[in-house]
Amino acid sequence: MERKSEDQSTTFEDIDWSRVEPTPKRLTPERLVTGIGLVLLGALFIYDRAGNGVGVVEAWDMAPIEWVILIGSVCILGYVIVPLCIAHEQTRTALAGVLRQPAALAAAVYLGIFVSVAVFGPLVTGYQELRFEHAFHPPLGATISGEPKPIDCLGRETALDFGTACHGSWEYPLGTNERGHPMGYLLVEGARVVLYVMIFTLAFVVPLATVVGVVAGLRGGLVDSVLMSYVDMQLSLPAIIVYIVGYMYWNPSLLLLLVTFGLLSWGGIARLVRSEVLQRREDGYVLVARSLGCSRRYLAKRHIVPNITNTLLPAVFQLFALLIVVEAGVAFLGYHQVELYSWGSTISESINAAVPATMQGRTTHPAYQIWWVSTLPAIALTCTVLSLKILGDRLRDALDPRGGW
């Protein structure tokens, strides 16, 4: 296929005709990988229910949210990672275009480190017991004075006019919180919660929103009216009210939060996809394909969805950032599962003001004296949200099939 490059010289682009004119197949690589993954998960679930247990690290039992996230991970592997590997040339070209930009490169590096920490960090940190004797131990380079101070100061102690000051030590290089948990451990646990939010959103929320938007845009008529009426009704229902009702009648859990906020927050993406589909379905290449007898499913898969990625991707990354902030905000207010150490709940530990419905005590230290408890997770939360927004904006152009990367 002839194509003009940036220097206006004529080049030729290789085309995989098996992907342009595919033969109908029941067993595709995507279905094969997903099917094998789900079968393995089913066997693992049966093994766990038999009483054997499949805890990955000590004292970490597989909760319902873990099983849901594993299912979502298998779906992402089969229908996101595998297609990207199959279309490796296009993926490499798009990534090269993104990584040429310093801001996008920094965001991608940070998110890569973040995912690695969230996945492998619990294997390193393990399960940390409560150590109240080390509560609010300062990090390296910092001190804490006054009462109460750590009962067992592991660092150097210096005398003051009134009492002593405890200095940080290598035992807790980032300090500890009010329960004596190392801040490194809390940052890893918070990263795992954020990764759960992203996986659930990508595996369940985004496909639902995309399917509804594409179906409404392609079918039109009564189907479009019914689907968009449901979206309007859903958007008028505050997710926080639904979550609070669920909080009252069921135990608070991350799964409850993801279901309520995630599955009530996709209306905006559905409307955005529908708007793009209404424009694309009148383009010449779509009209030609329709005149040749192509089905709506083929039109959506081969012509519509690939040409709306530049609009869909930024919206998806914005939804990631939104739900991450929502989860942190809910945890900050105390309406969360206590066993999960969210970044939001960790930030709230250094705030003196009492929070209704909270399960945590409040320290008598002013927040500025134990700054590391709130500052470190706040920095991690800010960097994660900022990186998602930057990378989403840069991917918009790189994955636009009309952009000519």
Report the pLDDT value the prediction gives residue 193, as an integer from 0 to 100: 94
Nearest Cα neighbor of 343 from 218, 229, 177 is 177
Nearest Cα neighbor of 343 from 382, 371, 309, 307 is 382
Report the alpha-carbon distance of residue 23 to residue 246 in Å, rounded. Answer: 48
Task: Count helices and strands (H / E) in the chain.
Answer: 17, 5
**Amino acid sitting at position 172:** Y
* Domains and their CATH numbers in the chain: 102-128+183-398 (1.10.3720.10), 137-175 (no CATH)
pTM of the model: 0.85
DSSP β-ladder status, 164-167 and 157-159: antiparallel
Report the pLDDT value the prediction gives residue 307, as an integer from 0 to 100: 81
Residue 9 has which token pair?
């010289």
Determine phi and psi for 107, rounding to 5 degrees: -65, -40
246 has a pLDDT exceeding 60:
yes
- Among 51-60, 191-200, 361-370, top mean pLDDT goes to 191-200
The total of other beta-carbon atoms located within 10 Å of residue 97's CB is 18
| DSSP 8-state assignment for residue 12 | E
**Across 86-95, 192-201, 395-404, least confident range:** 395-404
The total of other beta-carbon atoms located within 10 Å of residue 42's CB is 11
Q: How many CA atoms lie within 13 A of 23 on its CB side?
A: 1
**Secondary element (H or E) of residue 382:** helix 371-398
Q: How many CA atoms lie within 13 A of 57 on its CB side?
A: 11
Q: pLDDT, tens digit, for every residue of 340-378?
A: 889 998 998 877 544 444 444 555 667 777 888 899 999
Q: Which residues pair with 182 in a beta bridge?
A: 176
